[in-house]
């Protein structure tokens, strides 16, 4: 990444973002408007933009310039779902960073470094988001109905960690939804009839189609990771279903490969939801649940969202269904 630009009007936010980026990545340029940022785009550029700036004039032109440069747009998750999620949907944004300064100090440099050097994201998986040395447990189902037993083992491990009841429920929900999508929905993404019946009958999962569940904690976060060998979920599907959370007239539902209600619930349960997407080959979903005590007991207004799509990836010849 040749240049990082922050687009934000608030002076305190400018200072916070600048310090976080400068200490974890490198030099940063701060401007107040998308038009000013557009004039600075030169080579691969990462633009970190406030929701207020993204909703104003000139953001579409900035987005086009950044993408043409081979760079990336990161939206600050301030202002709540009604301010942030329509921007994600309408401008096809792949990254929403936390509005919480505690989370931001870790998340923003890590994301910018991943965007600059994306190789190996799937191999590292959840380990990338935990402190060095954190242990990850690995579980692989061999039959579809084995999901229940695996989730039972996960819950036993969570209980041993003495999490709060809320944190334990969130982690279990994330694991349940992501694993269900990987077992039932991903293999049947192109076959609606088969997807509807897939959950009813227990069947063996052949080795080449078995998903992997990994989970662990470093004391700050619990990380839940599920990887499937299909790569059936697209960034557009994820953005569309997450954006439905702000439309009170539409309830999230199953569809588009199953990433409907489960994806929306998973997003709300996490502090950060990350996807590593290799279309036609693999989908890796990672949910982070924040364990740190906060003086106000609160959390960021909007969970962070990151959609990393493998450069040049195209749907392979794998047949679903």
Question: How do residues 185-230 score in pLDDT, each as one tens digit?
Answer: 888 866 665 656 667 788 899 999 999 999 999 999 999 999 999 9
Nearest-angstrom CA–CA distance, 275 and 205: 23
Could you give the domains of the chain? 3-116 (3.40.50.2300), 126-309 (3.30.565.10)
Task: Per-residue pLDDT tens, the chain, 321 aa: give them.
Answer: 679 999 999 999 999 999 999 998 999 999 999 999 999 998 889 999 999 999 999 999 999 999 999 999 999 988 788 889 999 999 999 999 988 888 888 999 999 999 988 777 778 899 999 998 899 999 999 999 999 999 999 999 999 988 889 999 999 999 999 999 999 988 886 666 565 666 778 889 999 999 999 999 999 999 999 999 999 999 999 998 888 777 643 444 444 444 456 788 889 899 999 999 999 999 999 999 999 866 555 555 789 999 999 875 543 333 332
Mean per-residue pLDDT over the chain, rounded:
86
Question: pTM of this prediction?
Answer: 0.89
Task: Give the whole-angstrom CA distance, residue 266 versus residue 180.
Answer: 12
Which residues of the chain form beta strands (DSSP E)? Answer: 3-7, 29-31, 45-49, 72-76, 95-97, 136-139, 212-217, 221-228, 272-278, 282-290, 304-309
Spatial contact of 186 and 284, defined as CB atoms under 8 Å apart: no
Strand, helix or coil for residue 189 = coil
């Amino acid at each position: 990444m040749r240049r990082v630009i922050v687009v934000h009007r608030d002076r305190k936010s400018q200072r916070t973002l600048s310090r976080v980026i400068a200490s974890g990545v490198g030099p940063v340029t701060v401007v107040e408007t998308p038009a000013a940022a557009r004039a600075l785009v030169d080579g691969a550029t990462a633009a970190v933009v406030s929701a207020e700036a993204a909703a104003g004039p000139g953001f579409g032109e900035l987005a086009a310039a950044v993408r043409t440069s081979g760079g990336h747009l990161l939206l600050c998750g301030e202002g709540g779902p009604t301010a942030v999620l329509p921007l994600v949907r309408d401008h096809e944004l792949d990254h929403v960073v936390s509005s919480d300064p505690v989370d931001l100090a870790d998340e923003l440099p890590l994301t910018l470094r991943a965007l600059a050097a994306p190789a190996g994201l799937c191999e590292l998986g959840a380990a990338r988001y935990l402190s060095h040395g954190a242990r990850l447990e690995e579980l692989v189902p061999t039959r579809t109905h084995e999901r229940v037993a695996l989730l039972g083992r996960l819950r036993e491990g969570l209980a041993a960690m003495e999490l709060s009841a809320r944190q334990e429920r969130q982690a279990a929900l994330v694991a349940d939804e992501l694993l269900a999508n990987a077992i039932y929905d991903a293999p049947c993404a192109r076959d609606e009839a088969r997807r509807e019946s897939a959950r009813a009958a227990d069947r063996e999962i052949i080795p080449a189609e078995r998903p992997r569940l990994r989970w662990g904690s470093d004391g700050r976060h619990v990380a839940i990771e599920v990887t499937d060998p299909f790569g059936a979920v697209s960034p557009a599907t994820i953005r569309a279903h997450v954006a439905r959370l702000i439309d009170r007239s539409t309830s999230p539902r199953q569809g588009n490969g199953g990433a409907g209600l489960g994806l929306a619930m998973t997003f709300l349960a996490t502090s950060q939801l990350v996807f590593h997407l290799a279309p036609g080959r693999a989908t890796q979903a990672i949910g982070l649940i924040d364990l740190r005590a906060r003086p106000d007991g609160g959390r960021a207004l909007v969970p962070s969202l990151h959609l990393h799509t493998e450069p040049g990836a195209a749907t392979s010849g794998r047949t679903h269904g």
